[in-house]
Structure 1
């Protein structure tokens, strides 16, 4: 590798480093590295203890190379591990003419806060960044973690989506039109892409992709799910039931508009039912409903995206169900 990281987080080029001056680590896996090279070999950094042939480091390298190959096929110039500013280095920097884009292949854990910092650093340098996800971040079992949700992106043609690459299968994946349904979890559609298909898709990002119309749970079914969870002493619902008791209500007798009768965008920390009941109990104006349906930390989505959705949807459901 051509770049290492100091204990303070600064990036050091192998061509500018001096051996044994300070501890250095790999920017990707944070393992110790050492400076190597000689009269016939250009300076480079190598792991002090190799991670082996099947570790995530090799997966990361394969992912970067696949991104580079795809970019070269699109007539871009490609550079790897390019330092950006004082604290970041781009996995792949692709350039055509005067336009450059950073492409990051993320296959190791990354908190939403770190994702936001890295993204903002690239934007501050005048660079757009595209995140391609390794298998660690692929959706499974109708549930998405905070890390997965942080990588959510949006295009009108694809809905909310995640983009991934599997080096071992050499397959590109697009998880598109991701939605969430109260008491059922997250739903999405998956499109597997060969390299030519991924190339065409990325070259024409406005391409429409058909979406499936998911069926939410009806109000009667939602009530049954709530009752079953109360029997199992679900902490959130038990606490909500106790709050209802204090106002002479029960979860079984609250207004019908507290039930969400449609799927919703994957933007909120809590389900619509819980948010609506909390809003009802506090008897606040409709404009404050966003306080009871707080947004997830999703730095790749603009703050304005669907900002009026909760209030608009609540008013619409009230008109339908009151």
Structure 2
């Protein structure tokens, strides 16, 4: 068996890509997208009809030019998600506008809009995860959305404080960003290339995994944002791992043995008192890496959203 097949025995593999050809090739259970990934594929021939359909949809909806651009952008997200669902048995994560990350009400409104658009295409809401940044406001939005059977993927997660409030709010899934944590420490020369078991990103996810399992939280942990295959293999046994095509190929081409490295604890403790908003903000603020990377991630996705909207604007 190749390493990808072995890994699938311990962990649910998710494709960190919106590229249909890659999804067909590696056969993940689930898939996830974001504005950055959509920008990478928007010019490919396979997606031309999806983009054109989005422009037609926006023009039919009418409204101001700004409203047309927003509707076209939302339709692109849904069209790509719908296409992906033709090739996977599980769910697709669709990321809403990162510029809404500090507005609970607008996140809720946008999530309902996206879900309604999916359902208008015959896609049940159980097949879609709404991706939100792991801010206090987005976690509260996810908590409310769950009451309407809308599940969320809380992304851009860097601190244990973020992981705590997600678990306490019983959100469906979190995406700790292993590689971006590694980047932050490496760029500041806090360590040189090290053994993967000393990798700050790997250690962060292991800490979250241990915390969740010892308190029996049901929120799914999906490791994300990897920089090498060694990080992925060090986290075999994590609930989910979302992996980019370059590493899916590397895993598929290797037949070296994959061992399970993460195991749930048998000791279940009484759950702690949930964090208040002020407690969360204090704990998260004490982690400089997490503060900087969350801010950078929201800004990056916001900028890519704006780039996508400019492309759609030129077509409208």
- TM-score when scaled to structure 2? 0.29
Which of structures 1 and 2 has the bigger CA Rg?
Answer: 1
Whose helix proportion is higher, 1 or 2?
2
Q: Which of the pair is proportionally richer in strand?
A: 1
**Higher relative contact order, structure no. (Cα contacts within 8 Å, ≥ 6 residues apart):** 2
